[in-house]
Structure 1
Amino acid sequence: MFGLCKPSFRAASELCEPVSFFLRESRKSGGPRGRPPRASAMHKRRSHTKSRKGCTNCKKRHVKCDEQGPPCAACMARGTTDTCAYQTKPSDARSEGQARSATTTTTTTTTPSATDAESSSRSDGPQMEESEARRLLELRLMHRWMTHTWKCMHGLDEDAEFLIEQLPQASLRYEYLLYGTLALCAADLAIHGEQTTLRARGPSFYLATAMSYYDLASQALRPQLAKQDADAHVWVYMTTVMLTTLQMAIAQCLEARGGREPRPSMIERLGLIIDLSAGSGSVALSDSFSLFSGAGGSMMQRAAELLGGPPPPCVEPALQAVIDHLHAVVSDPSAPDAEPLAPQYRPCYALVARLLELSVREESRRQIRGTCVSVPMYCGRDFYAAVTSSQPTALFLLIIFGALVEIGARDGFWWANHFGPGLVQESCLAMASAYPDCMRRPHWREGIAWARAEAGLPPLAL
């Protein structure tokens, strides 16, 4: 993979306007020698074009000032450069490829150079205006999508054409989709950097770029959520998925940028991701017919067939053991949050366990990648409330979920890096603090050990 080489900026034309002026000669009062002047031969003096911004000397003499000073050309010709002054400094601005424009404004304006635009982009992220710098940046980001970033959304063989061809074409019609795509590509570059050394940017620049486009996508998307546009439905859904994905990638962006500012924990970030994922699910269900019959409909139908079909006939022994641990923990009657003690959590525990089992089985079958990312879409706020209140069963389920997220990250979903291990580690620490005895029970202990190994974390000393 290679990045787009960035050409150097050049002005559209060089401004080389010569300084010139005309000195009018006084007309002689008489005609030919010895002949008195004739009235018909007298010419009325033509007044010069009034200059509202000329120097004080030219105004006193009532002559045209070229407004190029101080000193102006007239004062240079008359040797009065020392007294050449302007009440308001004339504009130095020049239009590219044109002569100086005579305007009535009194404000001094300058045309920003390409270097100024570049330095501004380095410090503050992209300038959200139609400029050469922005167009080149967006071209680079879209090139990144076509060559690299699209793969992080690739979970099914049938979705390659949808992501590489149909989505970029649709982004030319729907600005919220364009901004969401560019935001995800900028996050990709913030984490992985550029493979070209020509004018390469740092993580801070691309993080600022990602956040700017994230905000633009959110603003453009908000009015579309209330509309019923069948043609745009799939693109609204894809934009919500991209923005949710970007939230999972932010932790890595901050890690790449460095700095010591306080950051939310992974469990705190999970709450936002659950809300965003639930919003994506609501968009999908609001018009499922358009989702399955519009652009990418065959991809959606194929995924539904695989998920709704029979489970794989056999599962890897290690993954089958994880499924057994899930059922044993959720049905453990001695858990502190078992049915008699915390009945409000039991429905969400059963739902999350089924979603995780489906993810484990699909991980073994290898036909759909990243099935586990649907867990936040359906788990609901009740499950998150159980997590934040340190209910042991909820923490165990979250540990398994974090391990599956990390497996997906190793399989190409780079936006999930750090997120899975962070959830595993924070959940283990919370459980060890509140319910250390649960972690010593066989199914709990073995499930946690598997999750920590998949997340690349050292074993716990229990």
Structure 2
Amino acid sequence: MEATKIQRRKFHSKSRRGCLACKTRRIKCDEQGPPCANCVVRKSECTYPAPKSSKPASKKPLAPASGSGVSAKASSSTDGSLTLPRLAAAPGSSLFVANTTSPESSERSLTLSRQPSPSLNIHASLSPSPSAYSSSSSTNIALELELMHQWSTHTWKSIHFMPGEESFLQVDLPRLALRHGYMMDGLMATAAVDLAIASRQSNPTASTAYLCTAIERSNRASAGFRDELRNINRDNLYILYYFSTMAAHFNFITPGLPLTPLQQTDMFFTMIWGAVHIGMVNVQWLIESPTQLAASFAYAANVRMELFDLLDPETTEAISRMSSVIRGARLPSKDDGPGPLAIENFGYQMATGQTKYAFAEGDEGYRRGNFLGALVAAGPDFIDAIRNREHVALFLTMYWAVLVHRVGVADPYKTWWIGSKGADLIDEISGILVTSWLGKRSDVREGIAWTRLQVGLTPVEGCIWSYPFSGLDITALDVAGLDI
């Protein structure tokens, strides 16, 4: 009888190019840093050994992984368009909008930029099992099956905002991903974040492994996405559009990034605006695509002012502070004179109106996710104002954060990714405003008090919300006969 053959464990291929931290831990390094994916997740210093100077002249230098040779610097805007926030270059932020230029292939296409990828190697995928750092094909297949199962049973619901979209997200999009590698990596990255958040309390080790997988997959997806942008056509525009919104979603929900809540929100708004630009390449193609985008556009175009009558009196009173502030507060001046009133700026008008309408939509708007784009509709200049920490823009952003919090409370199963994001954002912004020049206004202090109350934060000294409202402090306003 032939002796039973003992299968030996397959080890990953040896390499001397990994970072020193991974060598110390005796784990596989993706060699795509600094920082590598492992060091990003562990928030540790990532240092690579100095290259040997005695390399034979006949040998060619090792080529980087496909798609990884991109600059970490953002393209500068020469036409006044939205420029890349400096914060977006932080480790782990895989994809962001740099600026909007016109490449040769399309006059209205979009230029994207990405930081150095922690990993673009599919064989570096991790799982929470003892073989988490193995590169064997069986480990990768098991992990990929787990991620796709998670997407099709749970994760897809986190970006499900349009009625009738269920089949597309759960069935059609994964099938499209079989032909578009960047979309497959994007789905798996988002599913990995879902699993990382779900296991964060019960199994921190597994959560860390899933998060590392998410970052690796996201950066690999970014590289493929950039390549696909060079050839936008009728057949792939809607796929690129969905991916770009999903990438914004990914960067907004990923925990553990070295970013403050406000910085992560900056990145989200910037990337959503990039998705809008992709869609604007040809809106008709989006409308005719096999999605529910046409119905979504039709719904957005049907403004129903009667919804404001359904708001409860206290919320109506609270959101009136937004109008009060933009009527009376001035924006920074570009010269020695006083700056313009915020209400004179179309972006601030749009941000206020869209946010108030998102409150009026209530549960219907929450289900459709309209609240997510309320401030993005104000345009790139307003997004820049948030990123530059302009105080009136930050005040309006606090109200947007209340919407985020309410959605998380209304449907925690679907919006597992929200958690404390609304509260964290309000806490950071209110800390900035309460000591600012804008914080001297009574309507601003009341707005701070109300938003903190809505998300369960403790009151801030000097900021009191009293309802019913006792009236405007006329001395704090500079109305100049304007209205909204």
Q: Which moved more, 1:280-289 or 1:446-455?
A: 446-455
The 5-angstrom pairing of residues 378-457 of structure 1 reads 378-410=377-409, 411=411, 412-435=414-437, 437-439=439-441, 441=442, 443-457=443-457
One of 263, 283, 288 as aligned partner of 2:278: 283
**Amino acid paired to 2:431:** L
CA distance in structure 2 between the aligned counterparts of 1:388 and 1:310, rounded to whole angstroms: 29
Counterpart position of 2:175:
169
TM-score with structure 2 length normalisation?
0.62
CA distance in structure 2 between the aligned counterparts of 1:208 and 1:419, rounded to whole angstroms: 21
The 5-angstrom pairing of residues 236-315 of structure 1 reads 236-250=240-254, 253-254=255-256, 263-296=258-291, 299-311=292-304, 313=306, 314-315=309-310
Deviations 1:255-296 (A, max 9, x none): xxxxxxx92212222332232111111111112122111121
CA distance in structure 2 between the aligned counterparts of 1:181 and 1:126, rounded to whole angstroms: 21
How far off its partner does 1:325 sit? 2.2
CA distance in structure 2 between the aligned counterparts of 1:118 and 1:282, rounded to whole angstroms: 32
Deviations 1:82-135 (A, max 9, x none): xxxxxxxxxxxxxxxxxxxxxxxxxxxxxxxxxxx99987589676x7811111
Q: Which moved more, 1:208-217 or 1:322-331?
A: 322-331
**Amino acid paired to 1:360:** F
Counterpart position of 1:343:
340
CA distance in structure 2 between the aligned counterparts of 1:210 and 1:14, rounded to whole angstroms: 39
Contact 1:183 1:213 in 2 (8 A): yes
1:320 aligned to 2:316?
A: yes
SS in 1 for 2:451: helix
Contact 1:348 1:382 in 2 (8 A): yes
Counterpart position of 1:228:
232
Contact 2:426 2:451 in 1 (8 A): yes
Deviations 1:4-55 (A, max 9, x none): xxxxxxxxx95379xxxxxxxxxxxxxxxxxxxxxxxxxxxxxxxxxxxxxx
Question: Which structure carries more helix by proportion?
Answer: 1
Counterpart position of 2:355:
356
CA distance in structure 2 between the aligned counterparts of 1:360 and 1:423, rounded to whole angstroms: 18
Contact 1:246 1:415 in 2 (8 A): no
SS in 2 for 1:283: helix
Counterpart position of 1:459:
459
Q: Which moved more, 1:307-316 or 1:337-346?
A: 337-346
SS in 2 for 1:416: coil
Contact 1:150 1:164 in 2 (8 A): yes
CA distance in structure 2 between the aligned counterparts of 1:126 and 1:375, rounded to whole angstroms: 42
Deviations 1:148-179 (A, max 9, x none): 11111121322112211211111111111111
In structure 2, relative to structure 1, the CA distance for the partners of 1:231 and 1:267 (3 Å cut) is same
**Amino acid paired to 2:275:** S
Counterpart position of 2:155:
149
Between Structure 1 and Structure 2, whose CA radius of gyration is higher? 1
**Amino acid paired to 1:171:** A
SS in 1 for 2:151: helix
Contact 1:123 1:205 in 2 (8 A): no
Counterpart position of 1:40:
none
Counterpart position of 2:214:
210
SS in 2 for 1:134: helix
Q: Which moved more, 1:302-311 or 1:147-156?
A: 302-311
Counterpart position of 1:5:
none
Counterpart position of 2:109:
none
How far off its partner does 1:394 sit? 1.4
SS in 2 for 1:350: helix
TM-score with structure 1 length normalisation?
0.65
Deviations 1:395-449 (A, max 9, x none): 210111111122223333232333322221111011112136435x1x3333323
How far off its partner does 1:145 sit? 1.1
SS in 1 for 2:298: helix
**Amino acid paired to 1:401:** W
Count, aligned residues: 335
**Amino acid paired to 2:449:** A
**Amino acid paired to 2:183:** L
CA distance in structure 1 between the aligned counterparts of 2:381 and 2:356, rounded to whole angstroms: 19
Deviations 1:57-89 (A, max 9, x none): xxxxxxxxxxxxxxxxxxxxxxxxxxxxxxxxx
In structure 2, relative to structure 1, the CA distance for the partners of 1:160 and 1:322 (3 Å cut) is farther
CA distance in structure 1 between the aligned counterparts of 2:267 and 2:201, rounded to whole angstroms: 32
In structure 2, relative to structure 1, the CA distance for the partners of 1:193 and 1:276 (3 Å cut) is same
**Amino acid paired to 2:158:** C
Contact 2:158 2:417 in 1 (8 A): yes
CA distance in structure 1 between the aligned counterparts of 2:405 and 2:275, rounded to whole angstroms: 22
CA distance in structure 2 between the aligned counterparts of 1:364 and 1:119, rounded to whole angstroms: 38
How far off its partner does 1:391 sit? 3.3
How far off its partner does 1:335 sit? 5.0
**Amino acid paired to 1:425:** D
Q: Which moved more, 1:265-274 or 1:182-191?
A: 265-274
Q: Which moved more, 1:309-318 or 1:280-289?
A: 309-318
CA distance in structure 1 between the aligned counterparts of 2:131 and 2:447, rounded to whole angstroms: 46
How far off its partner does 1:372 sit? 1.8
CA distance in structure 1 between the aligned counterparts of 2:128 and 2:187, rounded to whole angstroms: 19
Q: Provide the alpha-carbon RMSD of the alignment.
A: 3.4
How far off its partner does 1:236 sit? 1.2
